[in-house]
């Protein structure tokens, strides 16, 4: 299995509190992605990174920020969590070229109460 | 971004072949066609990918139309463990050397014993 780890795996937090999810890889892949998955919506891209300190927005980036200070770590931050951000979050990694596979983490289930 | 269209759901019987279709009429010449699947309570996993020619691996086969506007994932003998959501995606070239990885809602495959 590819070396990709998400932490925490489960979290319950209160509305208005900041939350940071971590994605850690040992594969030295250039690209890292954060997705959220909700019933009826499939996987939606939040942010992605194409290198250290290089990030870009996905389709549902409002309310989220990311940082990548090291190749192996990609952090997703909810500055002030809302109930609409209750979801399952997945991290993924891939090489730069489009003919290689992406690898996904096991997901983080976040509940905002 | 190039988009894909898949049926919401399909049903199959165990040990029978399954053909999962995907339409991608706006595909560009450099887009690779990827298939991933997501088993219940897990992150997505890679199945297969191709560019122009049909591809086979231990999990499945990928048949790509000559005009590349559609493709079909073929599971030769479905098992109960193949019950999952199957995603057909295109590796987007989003400018410079950046590659997004954008998912749709996928096809929910049910396998009957």
Q: How confident is the model at residue B101 (pLDDT cuts 50, 70, 90)?
A: confident
Q: Is the pLDDT assigned to residue B95 strictly greater than 70?
A: no
Write out pLDDT tens, residues B42-55.
999 999 999 999 99
Interface touch A105/B36, C-beta < 8 Å: no
Q: Give the pLDDT band (50/70/90) at residue B94.
A: low
Lowest mean per-residue pLDDT among A107-111, B49-53, B92-96, B108-112: B92-96
Mean pLDDT over each residue of chain B, to the nearest integer: 90
- What is the predicted pLDDT for the residue at B66? 95
Nearest residue on chain A to B31, judged by CA atoms?
A98
For an interface test with A, which of B50, B55, B100 has the most A Cβ atoms less than 10 Å from its Cβ? B100
The beta strand positions in A1-113, using DSSP E, are: 4-7, 10-13, 19-25, 31-38, 42-51, 54-57, 64-70, 73-78, 87-94, 103-104, 108-112
Chain A contact residues (CB < 8 Å to B): 31, 33, 35, 40-45, 48, 50, 56, 58-59, 90, 92, 94, 96-99, 101-107
Tell me the pLDDT band of B3, cut-offs 50, 70 and 90. Answer: confident
pLDDT at A21: 98
Both structure tokens of B80: 């109960």
According to the model, what pLDDT value does residue B63 have? 98
Alpha-carbon span B100 to B9, nearest angstrom = 25
Contact A96, A30 (CB under 8 A): yes
B64-88 pLDDT, tens digit per residue, is: 999 999 999 999 999 999 999 999 9
Residue B110 CB-density burial (10 A; 0-12 exposed, 13-18 middle, 19+ buried): middle
Decide if pLDDT at A48 tops 80: yes
User: B109 in the Ramachandran plot: left (φ > 0), alpha (ψ -120 to 50) or beta?
Assistant: beta
Distance CA B78, CA B16 (A): 6
């Amino acid at each position: 299995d590819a070396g990709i780890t998400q932490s925490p795996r489960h979290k319950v937090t209160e509305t208005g509190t900041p939350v940071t999810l971590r994605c850690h890889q040992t594969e030295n892949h250039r690209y890292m992605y954060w997705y959220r998955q909700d019933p009826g919506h499939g996987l939606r891209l939040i942010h992605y990174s194409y290198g250290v300190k290089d990030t870009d927005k996905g389709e549902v980036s409002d309310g989220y920020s990311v940082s990548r200070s090291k190749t192996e770590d990609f952090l997703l931050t909810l500055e002030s969590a809302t109930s609409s951000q209750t979801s399952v979050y997945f991290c993924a990694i891939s090489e730069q070229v489009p003919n290689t596979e992406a690898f996904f983490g096991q997901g983080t289930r976040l509940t905002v109460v | 971004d190039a988009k894909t269209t898949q049926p919401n759901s399909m049903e199959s019987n165990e040990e029978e072949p399954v053909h999962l279709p995907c339409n991608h009429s706006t595909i560009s010449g450099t887009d690779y066609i990827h298939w991933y699947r997501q088993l219940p309570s897990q992150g997505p996993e890679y199945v297969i990918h191709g560019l122009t020619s049909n591809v086979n691996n231990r999990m499945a086969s990928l048949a790509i139309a000559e005009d590349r506007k559609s493709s079909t994932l073929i599971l030769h003998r479905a098992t109960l463990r193949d019950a999952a959501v199957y995603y057909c995606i295109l590796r987007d070239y989003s400018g410079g050397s950046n590659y997004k990885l954008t998912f749709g809602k996928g096809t929910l495959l049910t396998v009957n014993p």
